[in-house]
Amino acid sequence: MRPLTDHTPKPLLQVKGKRLIEYHLQALAAAGITEVVINYGWLGQQIPAALGDGSRYGISIHYSPEPSEALETGGGITQALPLLGEEPFIVVNGDLFTDYPFARLIEAPASSAHLVLVDNPQHHPQGDFVLQAGQITDYGGRSGAEQLTYSGIARFDPTFFDSGRSGRFPLAPMLFDAVDRGILSGEQYRGQWSDVGTPERLEILQ
């Protein structure tokens, strides 16, 4: 996203006059979510300065700053666990643009992890996971079945992160292991979704 992110973290980039992360906060509040934890790294101190305590969005925001070395998704979630409590929680990447209705995750089937998948975007044609009857059954193209792309939206039970691992580590290997153990559920979303990963994609949204 450079040069845009040389001075601004991606969640604070604007689409139609509103920050990307503000769309999430308003959608979460509309779904009845009242407590949000924001994990931040690069230039992240700008995020609490911009969003405050969340009261203007009808929610309460807590912050989980990463150390100077980025923790990746798995490490970032694990570090934030003390703030997330003992009930299942929703994860959404801060640099997405979507109209996904988060209330669907509150009503999703109980499982240790539940992923929202989308049609493969042009920049990721191979996809990530195979979805069959609400269960994610394969990944990495091993079976040859058509794959969908992980949207960056999910619901997790805290026990999913009970490995005791800490520090920097990615989420993907944990998801692959959950597929192999048959404990990863999922759904396909066909509404609006964009991974705002380049200035060109941001311009298309504008």
The per-residue pLDDT for range 151-200, each reduced to its tens digit, is 999 999 999 998 778 889 999 999 999 999 999 999 999 999 998 877 77
Tokens of 99: 């109209």
Per the confidence metrics, is the pTM higher than 0.75?
yes
Domain definitions of the chain by residue range: 4-205
pLDDT in tens, 44-103: 899 999 999 999 999 999 999 999 888 999 999 999 999 999 999 999 999 899 999 999
What distance in Å separates the CA atoms of residue 89 and residue 105, rounded to the nearest whole number? 9
Angle value at C-alpha 154, between 46 and 111, nearest 5 degrees:
145
As assigned by CATH, the class of the 4-205 domain is alpha beta
pLDDT in tens, 137-146: 999 888 889 9
